[in-house]
Amino acid sequence: MRNPPVTVPTPPMVAVAHGSRDPRAAATVAELLDAVRARRPDVPVHASFLDHAPPAPDRVLDALASQGADRAVVLPLLLTAAYHSKTDIPGALAQVRRRHPRLALHTAATLGPHPLLTAALERRLAEAGVAPGDPGTAVVLVSAGSSDPAANATIGAMARRWRSRGWRGVVPAYASAARPAPAEALAALLDAGAPRVAVASYFLAPGHFADKVRRETLAAGAQAVSPVLGAAPEIAELVLRRYDEACVPARARAAG
């Protein structure tokens, strides 16, 4: 007689965003998580922020533990693995584990890199009037930039892969902490003979960097600057993929 399948309760997702003083950022995160809930109503989804906006991730996890939760998936809403995912989040979770040793915490991978992010970037460029893979258009892929060289190298690798989709060229640029700056990268492409240069905004939510990049690159001659990724369908899908990946080890243990 076959054993009945093991049913594992769906763990809550605690999404961890960077946070910003700009209220548009929290509103964008809320819109994205609403899209996630619409796709998977069975998953309890909670927002949290590392800085500038409440609630902090440890407070959300404290509340879940007090309500009887025995596990949770902590999901960084971060586009690259850098200081926040390598230091800030693990530090916060270590404190939660000390306070709630019976609460099993599963940390998902950062959103990037992943092909769905490239699809979302092309969606946003199309919304700005740039045909995907236009051979007459070069693209500046702009991220926030990091003091972590590995994070910046991830953006460079992403730009190299993206070139194969038909663009005249794709180069990385960084809004802070690394070079080239977006306007510098744009000027180099124009000097090299690119008929048109578009700027792909590799930011999850609006704020200081996204506004600065838009202003400076349009002044430097960009044909178009894409909106932030926000609640693009590809981003909502990627959030759920990262959640499911983090859930796999727990399900395997329960089944075994």
The mean of the pLDDT values for the chain is 94
Write the pLDDT tens digit of every residue in 138-153.
Answer: 999 999 999 999 999 9
Q: Sorting pLDDT into bands at 50, 70 and 90, what band is 248? A: confident
Predicted local confidence at residue 88, as pLDDT? 94
CA distance linking residue 135 with residue 132, whole number of Å: 9
What residue type is 221 in one-letter code?
G
CA distance linking residue 241 with residue 205, whole number of Å: 20
Predicted local confidence at residue 254, as pLDDT? 46
Tokens of 61: 């996890």
Q: Using the predicted structure, report yes or no on whether residue 181 has a pLDDT greater than 50.
A: yes
What residue type is 10 in one-letter code?
T
CA distance linking residue 193 with residue 168, whole number of Å: 10
Predicted local confidence at residue 256, as pLDDT? 43
Read off the pLDDT of each residue in 180-192 and give the average, rounded to a whole number: 98
Tokens of 52: 């500038």
CA distance linking residue 129 with residue 94, whole number of Å: 46
Q: Sorting pLDDT into bands at 50, 70 and 90, what band is 83? A: confident
- Given a contact cutoff of 8 angstroms between Cβ atoms, the answer to whether 10 and 44 are in contact is yes
Percent of the chain predicted with pLDDT > 90: 92
Write the pLDDT tens digit of every residue in 87-127.
Answer: 999 999 999 999 999 999 999 999 999 999 999 999 999 99
Q: What distances in angstroms separate CA 147 from CA 80, 153, 205, 256, one per listed residue? A: 12, 11, 20, 42
Q: Using the predicted structure, report yes or no on whether residue 250 has a pLDDT greater than 70.
A: no
Tokens of 24: 């548009």
Dump the DSSP string for the chain.
Answer: -PPPPPP-PPPPEEEEE---SSHHHHHHHHHHHHHHHHH-TTS-EEEEESSSSSPPHHHHHHHHHHTT--EEEEEE--SS-SHIIIIIHHHHHHHHHHH-TT-EEEEPPPS-S-HHHHHHHHHHHHHTT--TT-TTEEEEEEE---S-HHHHHHHHHHHHHHHTTS-SEEEEEESSSSSS-HHHHHHHHHHTT-SEEEEEE--SS-SHHHHHHHHHHHHTT-SEEPPP-TT-HHHHHHHHHHHHHHHHHHHHHHH-
CA distance linking residue 110 with residue 101, whole number of Å: 24
Write the pLDDT tens digit of every residue in 10-54.
Answer: 999 999 999 999 999 999 999 999 999 999 999 999 999 999 999
